[in-house]
């Protein structure tokens, strides 16, 4: 028992002293973000490569969503405030899966409805439907597709934690968002 307690203490102590975290052991994913060229809510050109030196959170949404996108965006807004309160350096990205409808003006208005601070949160659009579907399916291993005969889309309801171009973790973004776990995981990466 003493050895177990000592091992736990050393693990916590070494982690607290700035020892690097083994990402493969701590996080459940290791996907790679695919290249994507987009525009944000302000019409600025954005590439996924622009985040290569940062820790970021990502989600897939569309603005005329009947179900999960508003709660997900509200949860992201709450996370943004917690990140700001803890003075963490994190970018946030919401990828529209409906780029035909979600123009830069539409996604900006959508973000404003949730109090998004655009200084570190981009709402992205400006690519074509096939691009965002491939981007989501290939890198995030998540569906993104228009529901035939409907204005609705199938997409992931997770919030993803990414460092550079490596997708490290996914969290429920709709009903049971683990805010504390997300913040702790971000702290490990900052």
Here the CATH number for the domain that contains residue 115 is 3.40.30.10
Within its chain, how far is the Cα of 156 from the centroid? 11
- Name the residue with higher pLDDT: 72 or 6: 72
For helices 69-85 and 179-189, what crossing angle results, to 10°?
A: 50
Per the prediction, the chain carries an average pLDDT of 89
Enter the pTM of the model: 0.87
14 belongs to a structural domain: no
State yes or no: pLDDT of 15 exceeds 70.
no
Give the helix/strand (H/E) hosting 3: helix 2-16
Asked whether residue 66 carries a pLDDT value surpassing 70, the answer given is yes
The count of structural domains within the chain is 1
Checking if the pLDDT of 63 tops 50, the result is: yes
pLDDT at residue number 17? 45
Instruction: Give the distance, in angstroms, between the CA of residue 189 and the centroid of all CA atoms in the same chain.
Output: 14
Q: Please, which pLDDT band fits residue 25 given cuts at 50, 70 and 90?
A: confident
Read off the pLDDT of residues 101-133 as tens digits, 9 standing for 90 and up: 999 999 999 999 999 999 999 999 999 999 999
In a domain, 3, yes or no: no
Tell me if 10 is assigned to some domain: no
Tell me, yes or no, whether 69 lies in a domain: yes
Q: Which domain holds residue 124?
A: 22-189
Looking at the domain assignment, is residue 107 inside a domain?
yes
Q: Is 134 contained in some domain?
A: yes
């Amino acid at each position: 028992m003493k050895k177990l307690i000592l091992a736990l203490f050393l693990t916590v102590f070494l982690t607290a002293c700035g020892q690097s975290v083994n990402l493969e052991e701590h996080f459940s994913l290791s996907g790679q973000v695919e290249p994507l060229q987009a525009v944000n809510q302000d019409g600025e050109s954005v590439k996924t490569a622009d985040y290569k030196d940062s820790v970021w959170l990502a989600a897939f949404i569309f603005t005329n969503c009947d179900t999960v996108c508003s709660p997900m965006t509200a949860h992201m807004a709450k996370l943004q405030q917690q990140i700001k309160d803890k003075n963490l350096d994190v970018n946030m990205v919401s990828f529209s899966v409906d780029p035909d409808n979600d123009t830069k003006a539409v996604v900006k208005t959508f973000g404003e409805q949730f109090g998004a601070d655009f200084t570190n949160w981009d709402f992205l659009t400006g690519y074509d439907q096939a691009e965002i579907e491939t981007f989501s399916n290939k890198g995030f291993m998540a569906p993104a597709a228009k529901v035939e005969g409907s204005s609705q889309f199938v997409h992931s309801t997770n919030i993803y934690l990414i460092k550079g171009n490596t997708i490290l973790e996914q969290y429920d973004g709709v009903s049971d968002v683990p805010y504390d776990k997300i913040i702790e995981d971000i702290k490990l990466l900052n």
